[in-house]
Amino acid sequence: MPRTAPEQSYWTRTGRYQDDMTRLFAEVPRDGKRAIRIGIELIRCINNIAYDIFNNGGCNLMLQSMAEQVTTLGRWEKDIKAKMDNPKNWSRIMSPIHRMIIVSRVPDDDDDTFGLPEKWNDNALEDIMNGVVLVALDELKKEAA
């Protein structure tokens, strides 16, 4: 079930750091490949995850390519959470996603109750996206130095 974006949302191009997100997203490879620069790769990953959540209800998050992007963000969890308004929002979004990935890998599992919660705070995803933008900017500044 597609999600409805909060009032201030990257989905509606009104995110808190929208100008930065737009500029960084313009550098994301359009061929579906990974970005070479980590700041741009983080932007690619969070945008693909957010797109799938808002457009497809998260049903593609179980695919290997999406799981790899979730893993990439997970490697930067500490840094991203440090930039978020509420670091608890990380687990509000990422825990259900990880559960979906794990359950989808279990053969013959009859558990059809996994997935993203019907009711969750979409502002939590926006908070993660804000954190990703700030970490990406930091990483790109380090590269330029």
Q: How many domains does the chain have?
A: 1
Instruction: Specify the pTM.
Output: 0.85
19: part of which helix (H) or strand (E)? helix 18-25
Q: Indicate whether 7 belongs to any domain.
A: no
Mean pLDDT of 14-36: 94
d(CA 144, CA 137): 11
Q: Indicate whether 11 belongs to any domain.
A: no
Share the mean pLDDT of the chain. Answer: 84
Which among 129, 135, 108 has a CA at the least distance from the CA of 8?
129
Does pLDDT of 114 surpass 60? no
Q: Indicate whether 121 belongs to any domain.
A: yes
Residue 92: the pLDDT is 86
Q: Indicate whether 22 belongs to any domain.
A: yes
Residue 124: the pLDDT is 87
* Res. 76 pLDDT band, cuts 50 70 90: very high
Residue numbers of the domain that contains 56:
18-144
Residue 1: the pLDDT is 42
* Res. 108 pLDDT band, cuts 50 70 90: low
Residue 27: the pLDDT is 96
- DSSP at 113: -
Q: Answer yes or no: are the C-beta atoms of 85 and 65 closer than 8 Å.
A: no
Which among 117, 99, 113, 128 has a CA at the least distance from the CA of 3?
117
Does pLDDT of 28 surpass 70? yes
- Match 């974006």 to its residue by tokens: 5
